[in-house]
Structure 1
Amino acid sequence: MALRRGFKAEAKRLALDVREEMGIGVFAPLDPYALADLYGIEVHDLSHPSLPRDAVRHFTGPAAASFSGALVSVGRGAVIIENHVHETNRRRSTIAHEMAHVLLEHDFGVLLTDGEQCRSSSSDLELEAAELSGELLLPCDAARTAAFRGWTDTSVARYFRISRSMARWRLNTTAARRIARCTKAKWREPVPANVC
């Protein structure tokens, strides 16, 4: 599976537009809960009283790893249900992913987020949502800046409030470290005397 041609550039532009709308720069951590609020999407966790108790016990107990969140259609709108027993950075990633579906205006019934992967009727939609959520949480330009500064996966994760695996994925998929390494190598090359 691959993203459709030109989607990465589209996701980059959309993420920058969203950050501008939220009043945050490219190198600032994005709060996915504030993004959901901005778009009128309510976020509820599994402790919501309207959810079946047996299902809640299942997904917060023995099957906690199998359910991170879902975007659920309600009338003309949607709500996000998140698994409140997951650690904060995983929950932030879940909300960003579900909001990516909203921003991309994906048609959906229920989209279930399972860890850092999702299940729905279309894996193409899931790839798009994963790419956009990554771009929202750690924009390409921010990943490259962090790579030039020599930040580790851990320092990137801590600053942007994402998981180390998300930080590593974004630093790799944006080629941030490779670009920083190649550029720094070129800077170290001696300049021939006759060039100036």
Structure 2
Amino acid sequence: MSKKSYLKRGFKAEAERISNNFRKDIGLDIHDHLCAFKLANFLNIEVISPEILGIDDKGLDVLMGNTKKSSGWSALTMTNSSDKKIIIHNTRASDARQQSDLMHELAHIICKHEIIVPDGIVLPSYMRYYDKSQEAQAEYLGAALQLPRECLVWALTTGNMSKREISTNYSASLQMVNFRINATGISKQVKYIRT
């Protein structure tokens, strides 16, 4: 079963509206780059690096995927004692990956996803467990926050940008640009797309 089948009817259109509305609320044009750090600040969500938690270099290497034994951690959201959301993210990842990871975490918060832990699974207090529907929502909304459909249409037509230029201009990976072009059906709308 594909991830998109986990999205409820109308969620994709709602994700595009949410992304467009945040750009307007922050004072950006629809085709402007929305930095994940700026969105987090707008939402009053603190974004911190794991270095400030006092983890030594060896521990950071394992945590951030710099060793053969690590899986390459990206980001997680915690709630502090004041019930405020805090996102801890991998500062050693590329800028495009950091933007994507933060948008994904912000999407979980925007969607008000709750921690759901199935019976028999014990997680540390800082870990999250989301069901497939919530992960699909965060994946789609996070990607829409980074590259909304209207922004891509503008970049490919009025902006006459190639996929590589879109990637650079919007701090997104080429993989994310391709995902969004395919997920939004833009390739059917725009006849010629430069790589």
| Bin for the TM-score computed over the shorter chain | 0.7 to 0.9
Paired letter, 2:10: G
Paired letter, 1:91: Q
Maintained 8 Å contact 1:147/1:171 = no
Q: Which has the higher helix share?
A: 1
Higher Cα radius of gyration? 1
**For this pair of structures, how many residues does the alignment match?**
175
* 1:139 aligns to 2:148 (yes or no): yes
Alignment correspondent of 1:88: 95
* 1:45 aligns to 2:54 (yes or no): no
The TM-score normalised by the length of structure 2 is: 0.81
Kindly report the root-mean-square deviation, in angstroms, between the aligned alpha carbons of the 2 structures: 2.1
Q: Using a 3 Å threshold, how does the CA distance of structure 1 residues 65 and 154 change in structure 2: closer, same or farther?
A: farther
Q: Using a 3 Å threshold, how does the CA distance of structure 1 residues 47 and 125 change in structure 2: closer, same or farther?
A: same
Stretches of structure 1 that go unaligned for 5 or more consecutive residues are 113-119, 183-196
Residues 9-158 of structure 1 aligned to structure 2 (within 5 Å) = 9-51=13-55, 55-60=59-64, 61-62=66-67, 66-75=72-81, 76-108=83-115, 110=126, 120-148=129-157, 150-158=160-168
Q: Using a 3 Å threshold, how does the CA distance of structure 1 residues 78 and 5 change in structure 2: closer, same or farther?
A: same
Paired letter, 1:24: L
Alignment correspondent of 1:187: none
The TM-score normalised by the length of structure 1 is: 0.80
| Deviation of the 1:57 alpha carbon | 3.3
Stretches of structure 2 that go unaligned for 5 or more consecutive residues are 116-124
Q: Which has the higher strand share?
A: 1
2-side partners of 1:124 and 1:174: how far apart? 19
1-side partners of 2:163 and 2:71: how far apart? 23
Q: Percent identity?
A: 23
